[in-house]
């Protein structure tokens, strides 16, 4: 065992702090055009990243060697855990997850500093200084409030407590890193925004720099949130994927503002408008990433995802205050320069549609934020306990979400600046016909197929507003289907228009292109536009997945072996309980697992007359935590619906088992949608213009190099 | 090239080399040893980088060409030109798609073209002297038949990541 590991680990954290503080100071000094100092700051940033990496490797080493002297290692691992879970325990608890956050940030810092080589010379020092300040904050947190290298006061236990069984799930290995990547990725756009405000270089330069970074962060946020849904769906066993849990809500908040930014930045690039708004959105997105972390870690709210109550909340409050003050102060200081140049001439324009879309997205974010915090506020201010549950969120978030969905479909139909009535009519013909046809088909055939256009909903609020929300909720399936048709047809129409134009142009040139080739070239030449449309297709698929909850079926039933039950198209026959390890019916793998006792309740499933196989929902009783058995869902996935079975209990004597059975339509479309979204974002991120291709830049570099070569040849000093 | 220069040139590959050592050590001697190798490598890397950073603060020498190019950046007007040309391309596409009328297209397109022309003229003017220099040097180098080595190495070494 490495005797001095705890002390050395803490020493490394101090090294990170010193290195970050030093780099911050040098970067600030370098902003006065001191090029040597800028080089020094760049190297300092790399060094800081290396030290953070060292701290992560050391903590990983402590986990792998079961060094239970470290309080964190003892609390979140035990000797029975596999290597994958031992490494996942790095971010399984408060202290380690802060180090993990810091390490992801250091990766972003290193990549960003490398990427800034040969560009953004004026912005670079402030970008590096801002990133070092953020890095410094997390190191301060670790050193003074949540040190992952702190030792247990009672000495090293012989065995660790083990990772929470709920976290011992494949999706939990990948979900936090993905979400943290999204959170951390938002630091780079924030650093660029601060740099642009500090230096006064507020033209297109920083916007272009930020776009790709924001897209990367947005993509990671999307993946992280969806992986969280997958984990909740598979592991928590309540039948759904989103429970409006405060921590889930906090994780999705920056996604809304980042989405708004990705649209509003186009207005600034195209029309020079919304400069203040864009800076505000970037600042808000970064703020929300810190706020989300604060919410999970401060113990302010209770959630299945949150860490234990701790005193690190106050550090976050100070840091959030600093972020807010910096952003607002800088915007006010630069207000004359960041005022927009143009104005929206008519509501029939793309910029107007984007602005409305921005308001809806930011409105949705504020609604979720307020509803999430309201119970706590009510407790603090009125000393009254109020529960804001999923029905409340669904009632208000669904209409706002549908408004965003509508605007997402309509915006591409408008041109920039203004759209004439004739053009608009022409553009809307095909989508309107599609919406009408799909709407009529849904109303007439939907109920027969098991997907009715209208569903029964109770009035959950008094008065006219209650009636409106009730009617909206009742017709949400029809509205969603119709809007999905709008979105798909609009995207199809855009592609067809582009393809036609390209084919016509190629024919005119005398080199006609085949349709597939023309399509590939069309997308290749306009990656941002068509990548965006592919993302819209992904979001449409996800909306269909969300819509499925309106038609989900649930049954709770108690069955004895041999008894059968039906739900939807599925028939399930209970064959009896099975306890592993020990039962001859258990597989070799199940018998070999001695870390837990597994009680399965097997069901044979049929759809019509076709046998679909065995479903084995279970309760797992971990040796380390016998008092908290986990629920293991039995699931059969399908494109049209998932069969989702949870076993409540199985009596070993009577062999009778309690089941909760769900048929969840279209859930798979959410996962398909996110794959399409990844594809679209990747297309969009792909660079269109490289700096190397810019003529004058190449010329300048070549001339400098040639001049230097000739000086060397003449024996002059460089 | 002396070993120190060689090491500095290979700087971008240091993390990759370290990763390779971690994977190799981990697969041969076990994960714990792999992690220790990684820790050792990162410690050395961090110290070397910090030392180099401190060295830059006290370095009074003028920047070498490579160092200067590392910190150079395209000027603002280059980026503006790229933005205007991109916007013009979008505008033409929207016109082809029938999103905007002919009159609006003509008006907006003329404005953007005017802006692009102004930027191109300014950029051409500022590049004139450098262009002449490059042409003269190239001619001279062509005569001595060393063009590919010089021009290519210059461009790829300093090419964008």
Residue of A418, A420, A696 with shortest CB distance to B127: A696
Interface touch B138/A40, C-beta < 8 Å: no
Q: Are A68 and A159 in contact, with CB atoms under 8 Å apart?
A: yes
Model confidence at B149: pLDDT above 70: no
* pLDDT band at residue A381 using 50, 70 and 90 as cut-offs: confident
A622/A259: higher pLDDT? A259
User: Is A485 a member of any domain?
Assistant: no
Does position A696 have pLDDT exceeding 70, yes or no? no
Distance from CA of B5 to the nearest CA of A (A): 17
Q: Rounded distance, CA A242 to CA A557, Å?
A: 24
Domain membership of residue A99 (yes or no) is yes
Residue A1 pLDDT:
63
Any domain includes A207: no
CA distance A237 to B90: 48
The whole-angstrom separation of Cα A651 and Cα A311 is: 44
Range of weakest confidence among A295-299, A393-397, B23-27: A295-299
* End-to-end C-alpha distance for chain A, whole angstroms: 53
Per CB-CB distance under 8 Å, the chain A contacts of B67 are 35, 39
Q: What is the spatial distance between Cα A55 and Cα A60, in angstroms, rounded to a whole number? A: 9
> Domain for residue A149, yes or no?
yes
A562, part of any domain: yes
Burial of A313 (0-12, 13-18, 19+ CB in 10 A): middle
As given in the structure block, the two tokens for residue A631 are 């629920």
What's residue B148's pLDDT? Answer: 52
Q: Which residue of B has its CA nearest to A267?
A: B87
Establish if A186 belongs to a structural domain.
no
Domain that holds residue A557: 551-670
Over residues A287-328, the pLDDT tens digits come to: 999 998 888 777 666 665 555 556 788 899 999 999 999 999
Give A626-681 pLDDT, tens digit per residue.
888 888 999 999 999 999 999 988 887 888 999 999 999 999 999 999 999 999 99
Query: Where is the domain boundary, A148, A165, A182?
Result: A165
In a domain, A28, yes or no: yes
Tell me the chain B residues in contact with residue A691 when contact means C-beta distances shorter than 8 Å: 74, 160
> Has residue A440 been placed in a domain?
no
Q: Is B28 exposed, middle or buried (0-12, 13-18, 19+ CB in 10 A)?
A: exposed
Last residue of a domain, one of A138, A165, A192: A165
Distance CA A206, CA B96 (A): 30
- SS3 assignment, position A330: helix
Q: Are A416 and B50 within 8 A, CB to CB?
A: no
Tell me what pLDDT residue A248 has: 85
Counting Cα atoms < 13 Å in the Cβ hemisphere of B120 gives 10
A246: Cβ contacts below 8 Å, ≥ 6 apart:
A295, A301, A302, A303, A306, A372
Which pLDDT band holds residue B45 (cuts at 50, 70, 90)? very high
Final residue in a domain of this structure, among A647, A670, A693: A670
Number of domains within chain A? 2
Mean pLDDT of A102-125: 91
CA–CA gap between residue A56 and residue A46 (Å, rounded)? 15
CA proximity to A56, closest of A93, A19, A91: A91
Note the pLDDT tens digit of each residue in A671-683.
999 999 999 999 9
- Give the tens place of pLDDT for each residue, A515-540: 999 999 988 888 888 999 999 999 99
Q: Is residue B94 within 8 angstroms of chain A, CB to CB?
A: yes
Q: A700 and B72: CB-CB below 8 Å?
A: yes
């Amino acid at each position: 065992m490495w005797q001095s590991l705890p002390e050395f680990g803490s020493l490394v954290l101090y090294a990170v702090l010193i290195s970050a503080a030093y780099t911050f100071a040098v970067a600030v000094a370098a902003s006065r055009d001191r090029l040597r100092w800028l080089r020094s700051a760049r190297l300092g940033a790399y060094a800081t990243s290396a030290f953070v990496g060292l701290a992560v490797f050391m903590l990983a080493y402590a986990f792998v060697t079961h060094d239970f002297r470290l309080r964190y290692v003892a609390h979140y691992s035990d000797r029975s855990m596999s290597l994958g879970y031992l490494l996942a325990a790095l971010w399984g608890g408060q202290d380690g997850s802060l180090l993990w956050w810091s390490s992801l940030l250091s990766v972003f810092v290193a990549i960003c500093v490398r990427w800034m080589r040969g560009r953004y010379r004026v912005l670079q020092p402030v970008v590096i200084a801002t990133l070092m300040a953020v890095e410094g904050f997390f190191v301060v947190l670790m050193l003074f409030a949540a040190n992952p290298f702190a030792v247990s006061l009672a000495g090293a236990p012989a065995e660790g407590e083990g990772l929470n069984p709920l976290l011992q799930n494949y999706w939990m290995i990948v979900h936090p890193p993905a979400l943290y990547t999204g959170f951390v990725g938002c630091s780079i756009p924030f650093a660029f925004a601060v740099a642009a405000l500090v230096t006064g270089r507020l033209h297109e330069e920083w916007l272009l720099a930020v776009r790709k970074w924001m897209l990367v962060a947005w993509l990671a946020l999307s993946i992280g949130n969806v992986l969280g849904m997958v984990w909740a769906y598979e592991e928590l066993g309540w039948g759904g994927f989103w429970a409006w849990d405060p921590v889930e809500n906090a994780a999705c908040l920056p996604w809304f503002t980042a989405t708004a930014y990705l649209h509003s930045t186009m207005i600034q690039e195209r029309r020079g408008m919304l400069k203040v708004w864009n800076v505000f959105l970037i600042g808000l997105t970064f703020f929300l990433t810190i706020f989300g972390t604060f919410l999970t870690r401060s113990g302010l709210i209770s959630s299945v995802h949150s860490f234990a109550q701790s005193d690190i909340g106050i550090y976050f409050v100070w840091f959030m205050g600093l972020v807010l003050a910096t952003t607002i102060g800088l915007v006010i200081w630069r207000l004359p320069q960041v005022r927009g140049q143009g104005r929206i001439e008519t509501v029939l324009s793309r910029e107007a549609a984007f602005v409305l879309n921005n308001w809806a997205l930011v409105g949705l974010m504020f609604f979720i934020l307020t509803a999430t915090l309201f119970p706590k506020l009510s407790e603090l201010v009125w000393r009254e306990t109020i529960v804001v549950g999923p029905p409340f969120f669904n009632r208000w978030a669904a209409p706002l979400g549908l408004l965003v969905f509508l605007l997402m479909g309509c915006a591409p139909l408008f041109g920039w600046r203004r759209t004439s009535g004739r053009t608009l009519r022409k553009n809307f013909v095909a989508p309107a016909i599609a919406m009408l046809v799909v709407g009529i088909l849904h109303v007439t055939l939907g109920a027969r197929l098991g997907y009715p256009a209208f569903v029964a909903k109770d009035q959950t609020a008094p008065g006219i507003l209650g009636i409106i929300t009730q009617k909206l909720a009742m017709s949400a399936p029809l509205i969603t289907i119709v809007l999905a048709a709008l979105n798909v047809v609009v995207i199809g129409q855009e592609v067809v228009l582009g393809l036609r134009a390209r084919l016509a142009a190629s024919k005119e040139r005398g080199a006609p292109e085949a349709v597939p080739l023309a399509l590939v070239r069309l997308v290749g030449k306009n990656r941002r536009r068509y990548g965006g449309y592919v993302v819209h297709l992904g979001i449409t698929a996800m909306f269909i997945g969300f819509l499925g909850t309106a038609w989900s079926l649930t049954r709770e039933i108690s069955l004895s072996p041999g008894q059968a039950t039906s739900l939807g198209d599925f028939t399930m026959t209970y064959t009896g309980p099975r306890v592993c390890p020990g039962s001859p019916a258990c597989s070799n793998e199940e018998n070999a697992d001695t870390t837990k006792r597994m009680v399965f309740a097997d069901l044979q499933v049929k759809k019509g007359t076709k046998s679909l196989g065995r479903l084995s929902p279970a309760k797992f009783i971990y040796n380390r935590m016998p008092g908290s058995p986990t629920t293991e869902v039995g699931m059969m996935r399908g494109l049209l619906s998932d069969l989702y079975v949870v076993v409540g209990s199985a009596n070993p004597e009577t062999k009778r088992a309690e089941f909760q059975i769900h048929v969840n339509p279209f859930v798979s479309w959410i996962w398909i949608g996110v794959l399409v979204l990844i594809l679209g974002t990747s297309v969009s991120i792909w660079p269109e213009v490289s700096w190397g291709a810019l003529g004058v830049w190449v010329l300048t570099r070549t001339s400098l190099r040639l001049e230097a070569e000739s000086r060397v040849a003449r024996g002059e000093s460089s | 090239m002396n070993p120190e220069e060689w090491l500095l040139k290979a700087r971008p590959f240091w993390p990759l080399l370290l990763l390779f050592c971690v994977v190799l050590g981990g697969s041969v001697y076990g994960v714990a040893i792999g992690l220790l190798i990684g820790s050792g490598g990162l410690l050395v890397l961090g110290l070397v980088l910090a030392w180099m950073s401190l060295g830059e603060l006290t370095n009074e020498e003028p920047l070498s060409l490579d160092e200067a190019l590392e910190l150079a950046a395209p000027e603002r007007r280059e980026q503006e030109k790229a933005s205007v040309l991109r916007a013009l391309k979008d505008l033409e596409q929207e016109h082809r798609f029938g999103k905007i009328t002919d009159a609006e297209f003509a008006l907006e397109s003329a404005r953007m073209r005017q802006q692009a022309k102004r930027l191109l003229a300014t950029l051409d003017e500022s590049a004139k002297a450098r262009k002449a220099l490059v042409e003269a040097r190239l001619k001279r180098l062509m005569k001595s038949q060393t063009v590919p080595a010089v021009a290519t190495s210059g461009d790829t070494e300093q090419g964008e990541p």
